[in-house]
Amino acid sequence: MILSESMAIGPILKRRARHAIAPILGALLLGYFSYYAVEGERGLLAYLSLTQELRKATITRDLIHGEWEALDKRVGLLRPGSIDPDMLEERALLMMGLGHPDDVVVMLQRSPAD
């Protein structure tokens, strides 16, 4: 009796194993693709990182653009067709090293390379 009971267990295990292979493989594939959807080169974390870098680059671009506009405005005031008297005076005083008595002058030491 013992021998026939152990012989009956083998085919049952084989049949159950055959039925379990598909769900196990499906779960493994689901786990694999889920992991790479989050951690992969083009996954969710990479997307969030690139989005943050894009925000930083946009802020930097806007700051540089603002500085450029301010400099462009100042240069526009010095163009020959429309010289602003205040800008002309500022540049002339700077070039000659002069100023009005009520002006605050900050003297900076120049390095030997200047």
How many helices and strands (H and E) does the chain possess? 3, 0
Residue 49 pLDDT level (bands cut at 50, 70, 90): very high
Q: Is the pLDDT of residue 7 over 70?
A: no
Q: How large is the average pLDDT for residues 59-83? A: 88
Domain ranges of the chain: 1-39, 41-97
pLDDT above 90 (res 29) = yes
- Kindly state the tokens that stand for 70: 């301010």
The DSSP code for 97 is T
Q: Which residue has the higher pLDDT, 17 or 44?
A: 44
- Give per-residue pLDDT as tens, 81-109: 777 777 777 778 778 877 766 777 666 67
Q: What is the mean pLDDT of residues 62-78?
A: 90
> Max CA-CA distance within the chain?
120
